[in-house]
């Protein structure tokens, strides 16, 4: 059995999943971009999932910098792996029509 799902519906499901699963995500936006595949000498249109992250809770009033690893790296890896496997986006493959861009809020001392 085949299902016809519009791109808008897929984006809405992905956004809802991200917001429900990751408290650190403040905003999600989907942006279309042209990507040139040099080895195949052609361009494709890819969807970039842009996410604004607040892993330290800055918007909730936490202004203490986090000592240790780069802020948000664990969160970014977890989101990337979860989305890639849950929705079969195949982002690790060359020429994937999906990509993720993270923008992370951080306190700098």
Label residue 9 by pLDDT band (50, 70, 90).
Answer: very high
Checking if the pLDDT of 3 tops 80, the result is no
Report the distance separating Cα 92 and Cα 31, nearest Å.
Answer: 19
Helix (H) or strand (E) holding 43: strand 42-53
Q: Which structural domain range is residue 18 located in? A: 7-104
Report the pLDDT averaged over residues 13-37.
95
- CATH number of residue 84's parent domain: 3.30.300
pLDDT average, residue stretch 4-21:
92
Residues 79, 22 contacting (CB under 8 angstroms): yes
Q: Of all helices (H) and strands (E), which one includes residue 98?
A: strand 98-104
Residue 58 lies in a domain: yes
Q: Looking at the domain assignment, is residue 46 inside a domain? A: yes
Give me the mean pLDDT over the 26-39 stretch. Answer: 94
In a domain, 42, yes or no: yes
What pLDDT shows up at residue 106? 78
In a domain, residue 99? The reply is yes
Say if 62 falls within a structural domain: yes
Whether 109 is covered by a domain: the verdict is no
| Model confidence pLDDT, tens digit, residues 46-100 | 999 999 998 888 888 877 766 655 656 888 999 999 999 999 999 999 989 999 9
What's the residue count for the chain?
109
Angle between helices 73-86 and 7-21 (to 10 degrees): 140
More confident residue, 102 or 74: 102
C-alpha closest to that of 98 among 58, 22, 30, 47:
47
Do 55 and 75 touch, CB atoms closer than 8 A?
yes
Let me know if residue 2 belongs to a domain.
Answer: no
Residue 59, in any domain of the structure: yes
Q: How many domains does the chain have?
A: 1
Q: What is the per-residue pLDDT for 1?
A: 66
């Amino acid at each position: 059995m085949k299902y016809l799902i519009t791109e808008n519906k897929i984006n809405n499901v992905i956004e809802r999943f991200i917001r429900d699963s990751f408290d650190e995500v403040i905003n999600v936006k989907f942006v279309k971009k042209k990507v040139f595949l040099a080895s195949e000498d052609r361009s494709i249109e890819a969807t970039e999932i842009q996410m604004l992250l607040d892993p330290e809770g800055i918007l909730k009033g936490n202004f203490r910098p986090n000592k240790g690893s780069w802020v948000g790296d664990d969160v970014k890896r977890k989101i990337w792996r979860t989305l890639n496997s849950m929705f079969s986006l195949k982002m690790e493959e060359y020429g994937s029509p999906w990509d993720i861009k993270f923008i992370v809020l951080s306190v700098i001392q």
